Each structure stands twice: as C-alpha cells, then as structure tokens.
C-alpha cells in the first residue's frame, strides 16, 4: 500500500498515512482509555463483590454460630427428653404391672362377691338363729325365775323342817330323860 501511495504522490500519501496513524493512535488511546475505565470499573466491581462476599461470609458465619448454639440447646433438650422418655417408660411399665395386678384382683372379686352373697345369707340365718336364741333365753329366764322361786320355797321348807327336826330333837331329849334314868336304875345287860 505504501508503494501505491508513492507512485501517485508522496507527500499526500504521507499525510494520509500520518492522518491514518493519528487516527489509529487516537483509536488506540480511546480504546486504552476505555479499557482503563473498564478495568477500573471491573476493579471496583470486584472490590464491591469481595466486600459483599465478605459480608455474606460473615453473615453465614454468624448464622452458623447461631445455628450451632441452637443445635447445642436442642441437643440438650433432646437429651432431657430422652431421659424423660426413659423415666416415663419405666413409670408406664410400673403402671402396666399395677393394672395387671388390679385386673387379677378384680377377677378375684367375682368369687368374693359370690362368697359375700353366701355370707350374707349365712348372716341372715345366724341373725334368725340369734333371734330364736333370744326367745329361748327369754323362756329360760322365765324357767330359771320359776326354779329360783321353787328353790327359795324349798329353802323355806327345809328351814321349817330343820326347825321341826331341832324341835323334835329337843322333844326327844326331853322324852328320853326318863328312859335314861330308868336305864341307869335298871341296867339291861
């Protein structure tokens, strides 16, 4: 291209060349300026992105620490719940054993109820027997009173008989005096 420009006219083509070089230089400077501006914007964007990423990292770190703390608390609560569930399980087993025992005892209540019914019947019979015994005892009291009166009458009669026997003994003593006197006078061998 430079040879073609020399043939047609040297200075003009140099001028064109100079203009073209200046134009090219201006384009290069403008591209360099644009690239500098773009690189500055890119640096600022990267710095801004790094700051945002740093903030996000700090936020994530804070969230992780908070979650770790919450997980530790939740872990403690779950451990307490496990302990409580173990306690509740043991208590439920005791309750189950108690209920089984109660079921057995309730099963024994039916024969006891039958025995209680039989005992009530026996108690009614005993009550009737006690009533008849009271009547018999009342009759016996009457008979004992009659016997007592008879014994008292017999005691009175025996007292009278004793008095009569003593009177008879006194009479015998009195009547035997002459016979004794006769026996002394006429002894009988």
In the prediction, which pLDDT does 85 show? 84
Asked if residue 9 has pLDDT above 60, the reply is no
Distance CA 14, CA 33 (A): 27
Q: What is the DSSP string of 82-122?
A: HHHHHHHHHHHHHHHHHHHHHHHHHHHHHHHHHHHHHHHHH
Summarised one tens digit per residue, pLDDT across range 28-49 is 889 998 989 988 998 999 999 9
In the prediction, which pLDDT does 110 show? 78
Distance CA 122, CA 28 (A): 131
pLDDT averaged over the chain? Answer: 85
pTM as predicted: 0.37
Distance CA 107, CA 100 (A): 11
């Amino acid at each position: 291209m430079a040879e073609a420009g020399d043939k047609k006219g040297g200075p003009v083509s140099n001028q064109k060349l100079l203009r073209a070089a200046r134009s090219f230089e201006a384009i290069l400077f403008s591209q360099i300026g644009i690239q500098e501006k773009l690189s500055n914007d890119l640096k600022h964007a990267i710095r801004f992105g790094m700051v945002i990423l740093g903030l996000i990292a700090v936020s994530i770190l804070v969230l992780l620490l908070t979650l770790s703390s919450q997980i530790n608390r939740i872990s403690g609560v779950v451990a307490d719940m496990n302990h409580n569930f173990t306690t509740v399980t043991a208590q439920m087993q005791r309750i189950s054993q108690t209920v089984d025992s109660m079921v057995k005892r309730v099963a024994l209540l039916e024969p006891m109820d039958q025995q209680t019914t039989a005992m009530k019947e026996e108690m009614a019979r005993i009550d009737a027997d006690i009533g008849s015994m009271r009547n018999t005892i009342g009759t016996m009291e009457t008979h004992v009173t009659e016997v007592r009166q008879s014994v008292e009458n017999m005691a009175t009669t025996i007292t009278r008989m004793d008095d009569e026997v003593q009177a008879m003994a006194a009479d015998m003593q009195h009547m035997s005096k002459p016979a004794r006197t006769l026996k002394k006078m006429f002894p009988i061998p």
